Amino acid sequence: MSMSYREKISYFMKHHNRFTRALFSLLSCLSYQMAQVFKSARRYLNTKMKKSELQASKTVCALPWIHYFTSEMAHNFPCCISTDTSLPNVSASGRKYNVYESGVFEQAWNSDYMKELRLDMLAGIRPKPCERCYKFEDLGIPSHRYWANKKWSTHFDRVLPSMKPDGSLPLKLYSADIRLGNLCNLRCRMCSPVSSKGLTAEWRLMNLIDDKEADEFMSLDWFERPEFWDMFLRYADDLESLHFAGGEPFIIKQHYVFLKSLIEKGIAKKLTLSYNTNLTMLPAELLELWKQFKVVNLMISLDGTEEVNHYIRFPSNWANIHKNIKFLHDNLEAYNIHNLDFNITVQVYNIFNLPQLVDFLIDQYPKATFPMLSLLFGPEELSIQILPTEKKQLLTKLWTEFLSARKSHWMQKGKWHEEVDNLVNNIEGIIEFMNKSDQGRLLPKFKMRTRVYDKSRNQSCPEVIPELASLFS
């Protein structure tokens, strides 16, 4: 009985060891287009991994198989971490996908970009959009990929068999991360107008953007379009995890309406809701909506204690943030909060203050998880690698003594050994990264940026952070 073309592919895939020679012989007789299909099939066979191998893999991340990410600019990336590479998901013609356009979910999900990325990961190749996670792992720091694989391994096992030889797979979202534009009430020094339109004027002053880009940042409003929310709701049935960030997501009232739609549709009770937030506000309406979801996880961004945090995350109020954190910490069950986490962006402005901040968070909020320290890679002039050798030596001594004095104390607080080990590895990785490269050539750019912000905000780096005063003399 003759077999169809599709049946032949299936047959060869099933019996690939037996028919390897026949497969490549057949390739030479086929047209170029058909040869590409067989090449993909062969590549798929060579890279198909066993279910138990995900967490052991040095390249594979579960997210491209189960997750959808939308950036502040409405573009699609493999995940939030990959935005740092400025390599968004694009069509075959190089066009960026805008999340509010009709049919874009399906197009972006199985674009050539995404299919190639999945196949590269399975083949042991590090895709360039994912390089930040690999950088963390090379430093011994648990990466976003590491945590995603721990969380989503079962789902990865479930969807992997449905992937076709070309890297495409059915669109079924278990996880989504939506960055709700750039409306934010803070102007953090390491941030950009992509995430906070309030920075647009200062960036224009430093000639980091032109007038056209400034206008684009100031008019970013795609998250206000009902067609985006309607389209997203159509793919929400299988969602188990939904993350919002911004901008500042608590400001964006359209997402409140969407949460109500999820509740009405009966999805909320099986859905874990999570946020990145500066927690400068705590809307009562949102607190009530959280009670309808399975659980809520919060990642609170802090970058220093008191004046240091105000300096970096201008114009935040430390007392107000502390009050909001304490309220949530004391009412976790009342508002369905499962995890209270802290994220600290490690940069030149806070590297001297971080031991104090880590101590404060661990001692003041025992129900929260240990803080996560995220290395800043850009803007590069704010990296801790720009510091002079003598300051790096001082910091290495400071952090080494800090770890030596605190590790046993942390263990006594009843925390999981893995949580303590992760923080220790995190700090050791930061020390290694700082000493790995001398980027002192960037000090003039650091001073220029700092002076522009200081003048615009009536602040003074030497006064708030005296450890850096000598850099301005």
Q: Which of 179, 383, 382, 210 is nearest to 275 (CA)?
A: 179
Residue 255 has a pLDDT of: 96
Q: Which two tokens stand for residue 100?
A: 């509010």
Measured between alpha carbons, how far is residue 148 from residues 157, 175, 423 in Å?
13, 10, 18
pLDDT band at 17 (very low <50, low <70, confident <90, very high): very low
Please give the mean pLDDT across all residues of the chain: 89
Span 425-452, average pLDDT? 95
Q: In whole angstroms, give the CA distance from residue 277 to residue 188.
A: 13
Distance CA 16, CA 9 (A): 10
The sign of the dihedral angle between the CA atoms of 49, 55, 56, 61 is positive
Helix, strand, or coil here: 373?
A: strand
Q: Is the pLDDT of residue 31 over 80?
A: no
- Region 369-376: mean pLDDT is 93
Which distant-in-sequence residues (6+ apart) come within 8 Å of 104 by Cβ? 76, 97, 98, 231
**453 Cβ contact list (under 8 Å, min separation 6):** 189, 202, 314, 459
Determine the average pLDDT of the residues in 229-247.
94
Instruction: Say how far apart CA 152 and CA 225 lie, in whole Å.
Output: 31
Q: Could you tell me the pLDDT band of residue 22, with boundaries at 50, 70 and 90?
A: very low
Q: What is the pLDDT averaged over residues 463-472?
A: 97
Percentage with pLDDT > 70 across the chain: 88
pTM: 0.84
What mean pLDDT do residues 377-394 have? 96
Beta-bridge partner residues of 176? 68, 242
φ, ψ for residue 463, nearest 5 deg: -75, -40
What is the residue type of 415? K
Single-letter code of the amino acid located at 5: Y
Which neighbouring-strand residues pair with 300?
A: 277, 342
Position 84 pLDDT exceeds 90: no
Over range 228-253, report the average pLDDT.
95
For residue 415, name the pLDDT band (cuts at 50, 70, 90): low
pLDDT grade for 2, boundaries at 50, 70 and 90: low
- How are the residues of the chain apportioned to helix, strand and coil, as percentages rounded to the nearest 5? 55, 10, 35
Model confidence over 185-204: pLDDT tens digits?
999 999 999 999 999 999 99
109 pLDDT tier (thresholds 50, 70, 90): very high
Nearest to 351 by CA among 375, 316, 378, 320: 375
Residue 418 is predicted with a pLDDT of: 76
Q: Is the pLDDT of residue 41 over 50?
A: no
Neighbours of 427 (CB within 10 A): 22
Q: Say whether 296 sits in a helix, a strand or coil.
A: strand
Dist CA 231 CA 268 (whole Å): 17
Q: Is residue 220's pLDDT more than 90?
A: yes
Predicted confidence (pLDDT) per residue in 312-352, tens digit: 999 999 999 999 999 999 999 999 999 999 999 999 999 99
Distant-in-sequence, close-in-space partners of 184: CB < 8 Å, separation ≥ 6: 195, 196, 197, 198, 246, 247, 248, 251, 278
Residue 128: pLDDT over 60? yes
Least confident of 74-83, 317-326, 448-457: 74-83
Residues 234-261: b if buried by 16+ CB within 10 A, e if exposed:
ebbeebbbbbbbbbbbbbbeebeebbee
